[in-house]
Structure 1
């Protein structure tokens, strides 16, 4: 099992950061590592989405069920994909009027040996930089 933990302090509100992370359909326009994104189902406090990722010379698709608690938390769990397990949480904690703290925790394990170490390392690297990528997008979107 690979565990990734990242955090950042930003000058943006929890709502602003939550909206960026939750706007799955915009990922292909925002991030070079996302080749496609589709929301398959949307409910009051959840969505099911498929992401098509490209990294380290590989392309992989997976589907997650995201349970949302706007603007504080987004919990992702695996529906389908090349993983034995995948579980992730984004949290957005207000820091008064000065912004928020973003935390991202992701635990995953690949199923089988397809792609081997290169695939695992590529996805691990991508997941590790996601917080930085969303912070950059916030700077573009909100100034």
Structure 2
């Protein structure tokens, strides 16, 4: 299983960053790595969403159930796609008036060993960029 953990300090509130990450439908217009996004279900506890990601020259689709604990946390659980397992957590920790710390932790394993080798590298690279990409979008949206 591959484990990735990334974080960044931003001058935005946990709520602002939570809202950006939770706005799944906006991903295709904000991120080159996302070709499509669809919220399949939305309720008071979170969303079930499908993302089409560009990985290793291919488009891979997967679905997660996201448990929203605003404004501090989004927990992701694998529902469907090329993974054997996928779990992730976004956390948004307030740092007083200075802003917040945004963190992403992912644990994943692809179902197919053959396809998994190439996809793992692509997904690992994407995960490495995601925190930076959300920080960039925060600057674009919030100034």
Scaled to the shorter chain, the TM-score interval is: over 0.9
Please give the TM-score of this superposition, normalised by the length of structure 2: 0.97
Matched positions, count: 143
Cα deviation per residue 1:33-75 (whole Å; 9 max; x = unaligned)?
Answer: 0000000000001110000001220110000000001110000
User: In structure 2, how many angstroms separate the alpha carbons of the residues matched to 1:78 and 1:35?
Assistant: 19
1:21 offset after TM fit, Å? 0.1
Give the structure-1-normalised TM-score.
0.97
Paired position in structure 2 for 1:37:
37
1:125 aligns with 2:125: yes
Aligned structure 1 segments of 4 or more residues deviating by more than 2 angstroms: 113-116
2:98 counterpart SS class: coil
Structure 1 gaps, min length 5: none
1:109 equivalent in alignment to 2:103: no
Aligned: 1:79 with 2:96: no
Residues 1-143 of structure 1 aligned to structure 2 (within 5 Å): 1-143=1-143
SS in 1 for 2:113: coil
Gaps of 5+ in 2: none
